[in-house]
Structure 1
């Protein structure tokens, strides 16, 4: 069975050519991604340790598939186009193993998962070239990792890791008006985009808005937690506590088990469902009515009343 293989290239650039190079790299990655066996690409800029070279990594499933890319006319044309940018480096060395997303690169990372509308992959690739070029201009940029979906279909997801040296610099890019404009443009061909960061008081339960880089207000998340937690606790009081009492279980241990079950059901069942169902309320955008928040509160109030009524006679 063939092992993944990586093509690693380095480049020393003139400062005035960096913008042109990063734009070129986006087209370089887009071209490589059209070849069979392409797995992912990684772009790592120079570090602060005296290292003055940019590093480009392309991962392919097999050495034969990488060889086809290396000998292709498309790659030859792109390399010829980029040569004026280089004052040093090498055009690529093949190495065994998948070097996907080198975690040794320091800094903080924003992880973006995108589902593309059917037949719009070409538009997405062209757009990705431009947004990659834009983010390199912001202070603290430490590189990007891009992985196309392994399979096709409506659930196929593109994975992007954007790295900056500090959380403040990552935040500056995530909230930049330039990025917001590009994301608005992407609505034409992106079906869903999710940004994963620990940027809320409920990390792991609620994602952040891919456009703003912010999570929903904590009070909204808290209401959804309550909506799911109340019936869980009531059912535990009715069915679980009598069982523990019959077993003469220590109160501390019984409470711990009940709390563990409550947290598990909340984390893996109720909040996952509620975040999906109340997405329109958690992340209202400019295209939604101004009274979206009020409508969500009214709906939640009705659901709370329904839960209380349904469980009114549950306990003796």
Structure 2
């Protein structure tokens, strides 16, 4: 556990977490692209990353903007340009946004999950707050899946709260700690710090807040790529034949739409379904098999499961073809 002071010349990560109404997802995604184009010309801007929600556990959009200095991030936050851009999509906002700016070491996201917890610490109680956090961190370390507990001090002109970034390896283990009786007991001990406590969840490991070399990216060798391709095939094949059977042939091709246009529309829809929902869901479901360090028994079980699912998918398509030609 550590607390980091503000460093004027250090690059920072501006993390903005906001909930968007369901009917605004597409507009908000396009809007983030427009913001990225504007930021390319902004002094001190380094990069942008947008993480869509992953319901039911994570309902907020997380935007990470990296700047060369706190001053550059502050200038963007307070700019009329940002205010004007926000006005374009404000009708889709649900509740208020959470904004945090923290030192950025340039390390990319990992597969962990985090809770970002903010506290309003009364003046003169900073040392007591840190000692209380030390007791909490010691308790967290005893829980399965605990990865890190980091404290960020207030940054003048940006936020007055103390921020704790708590990271576990997955949702289940993070929930086990957050809902534990031990944590509730510790929170009661620190009631004087909890009046303005705010807890936000994110499907994000927040590795960029930690020094390079402290964490490792997933191994993505030939085995990982091979398995990834098999998973994509698993969801791509049924999407293609279901689209062709129930959508393309009766609703598009039968109305004289050219093959080249029908094919483009089918691929457009398929890639969006795969990229936003189906492939991420499949990877989460098969995470126990994808990891390169999975035991041999899990490797065999994973391949057997995929073979069975492939066979079921092809069998279903064969039945659909028989039904179609038998009509």
Superposed pair shares fold, TM > 0.5 = no
Higher relative contact order (CA 8 A, sep 6+): 2
TM range (shorter): 0.3 to 0.5
TM-score, normalised by the number of residues in structure 2? 0.42
TM-score, normalised by the number of residues in structure 1? 0.43
Specify which structure has the higher proportion of helix: 2
Q: Bigger radius of gyration, 1 or 2?
A: 1
